[in-house]
Amino acid sequence: MSKLFQVDYRTPIGVLEIVGTDEAVHSILFAEQGVVVHSLTEETPTVLKECYVQMDEYFKGEQREFSFPSISVGTEFQKNVWNALTTIPYGETGSYKDIAISIGNEKAIRAVGSANGKNKLSIVVPCHRIIGSDGKLTGYAGGLWRKEWLLAHEKGITRLPI
């Protein structure tokens, strides 16, 4: 197995832990601690540096899609859900039902929600863009306040850093 590396990226809404190998990013998750523990170094793989730069551009409002290599580990169903999430355009939202229909299984709404919660590539696989069919915010592993901030950010609504 390839060696795993980590770099932490400070965002306006907390620290993202970016984990990966020389080949691909494996996870991007909000950290429990609010401090940067792993900074960029000369040993940081290029792919993690690319992710870091693209996250910086995303939070500046300059990046809408991501182009660094990433790996999602999950079941075929989960991967189908995650792929469907990436079709929701920047600044827009969808529902669990929309995703279930898009993957050809309109009765799998709860399973879609479960797969959404297992997404390890926050922001890149935009699970924050999923809202309830009634238009209300629903769960987000990073916290609803972060989800609200991310959605406002993508809609171009100026928000002060928290």
Catalytic center residues: 127
DSSP string, the chain: -PPPEEEEEEETTEEEEEEE-SS-EEEEEE-SSSS--S---TTS-HHHHHHHHHHHHHHTT--SS--S-B---S-HHHHHHHHHHTTSPTT--EEHHHHHHHTT-TT-HHHHHHHHHT--BTTTS-GGGEE-TTS-B---TT-HHHHHHHHHHHTT------
